[in-house]
Amino acid sequence: MKPYKQLASEQRYQIYGLKQAGLDQSQIAFHLGVNKSTISRELSRNRGQRGWRPKQAQAFRDERKRSCLNGKRISLHEWAEVERLVRADFSPEQVEHRLALEGGLRISHETVYRHIYADKKTGGDLHQHLRSQKPHRKRYGSGQERRGVLKNRVSIDERPAIVEQKTRVGDWEGDTVIGKNHKGGLVTLADRATRYVLAGHIGSKHADGVTAMTTRLLEPHKDYCHTITFDNGKEFAGHERIAASLQASIYFAHPYHSWERGLNENSNGLLRQYFPKRMDLSNISEEQVQRAVDRLNHRPRKVLGYRSPHEVFFATKVSYTKPPLAVALQS
């Protein structure tokens, strides 16, 4: 298992979903492919007065990063010491932790990396002391979308205010869950008001397949499909066809703002209980997918007054504590 590493925003929502599903820290770490200490540190370091919550945890992390970037300036003498260690073939992580161990400069390895690549742009040779000479891929700075802009996308800023209130059935959030080595995946949809989940198997993230599956999943609920909010993945390039088929309005979250689709991220985390992150999803059956979806939709939710998403979405009542139990709850 890998040692401690920084978590992405999406992983924080997955942690939340897995916690809600009753998994302990070791199980969560296994699903995310990280060390247990990463989960333990995350839950303790980014905890608020109301406990650990993914949106707040991400805000805490972002604030620390901003504080680091806006902290005291590093002097030329201190940079000279950093460069000396890099030239001694210390990795940026080793520079960070060795300086801290010896009570010296407090500097993050991200800052060291930025300095090295800034030096490279000006003709310097610090980058030659890095163990990996592959092209630099880690991105820092503006946070602007680099995957290209989807044609005729409509920003979430133009979405009706009623969607944010989560009082109307039929405002959906959509995403994809991809299997190990990008083999197979799921299209997932979650209704903001009722937490009702839909999911369907796809062979790949190709836009045509995602478009067809999204339309297929929502067609039976066309009367309760007012809006859909996606992220900016190219797999949603067919959004105009989806909108036309369903007579729905489609909006897109801001790049790298996964919390704007927090419900969908949470639902994906819950689905990972049945389809772990390292699982090859190319050969799963529709029956397996539907069984997992039924389990989620028939699970009582605190936010719904311990009613299930199925009960709220369909305005019905199901007996879960008296036999015969609903088919969805059978193994």
Distances (CA, A) of 105 to 2, 68, 117, 127: 27, 13, 20, 21
Give pLDDT tens digits for 156-179.
999 999 999 999 999 999 999 999
Residues 56, 82 within the same domain: no
Which pTM was predicted? 0.56
Q: Which residue pairs from 297-306 have beta carbons closer than 8 angstroms and sit at least 24 positions apart in sequence?
A: 297/196, 297/197, 297/328, 298/326, 298/328, 298/329, 301/195, 303/195, 304/194, 304/195
Quickly state the pLDDT bin for 72 (edges 50, 70, 90): low
Asked if residue 98 is part of any domain, the answer here is: yes
Distances (CA, A) of 56 to 5, 42, 176: 19, 12, 24
The pLDDT of residue 328: 46
CATH number at residue 236: 3.30.420.10
Asked if residue 142 is part of any domain, the answer here is: no
Residue 331 has pLDDT above 50, yes or no: no
Residue found by looking up tokens 């305005």 in the block: 315
Residues 182, 310 within the same domain: yes
Residues 218, 287 within the same domain: yes
Quickly state the pLDDT bin for 148 (edges 50, 70, 90): low
Residues 97, 163 within the same domain: no
Average pLDDT over residues 209-215: 96
Quickly state the pLDDT bin for 66 (edges 50, 70, 90): low
What percent of the chain is modeled with pLDDT above 70?
86
Which tokens hold the place of 247? 């007579």
Quickly state the pLDDT bin for 67 (edges 50, 70, 90): low
Residues 307, 218 within the same domain: yes
Residues 298, 173 within the same domain: yes
Residue 243 has pLDDT above 80, yes or no: yes
Which tokens hold the place of 53? 């919550």
Of residues 114, 112, 106, 118, the one with CA closest to residue 87: 112
Of 49, 69, 89, the position where a domain reaches its end is 69
Residues 54, 168 within the same domain: no
Question: Domain of 92?
Answer: 76-129
Give how many domains the chain has, as a whole number. Answer: 3
Residue 303 has pLDDT above 70, yes or no: yes
Give pLDDT tens digits for 73-123.
788 888 888 888 888 777 888 888 878 877 778 888 888 998 898 888 878
Residues 223, 274 within the same domain: yes
Quickly state the pLDDT bin for 133 (edges 50, 70, 90): low
Helical H runs in 88-165? 92-101, 109-121, 161-165
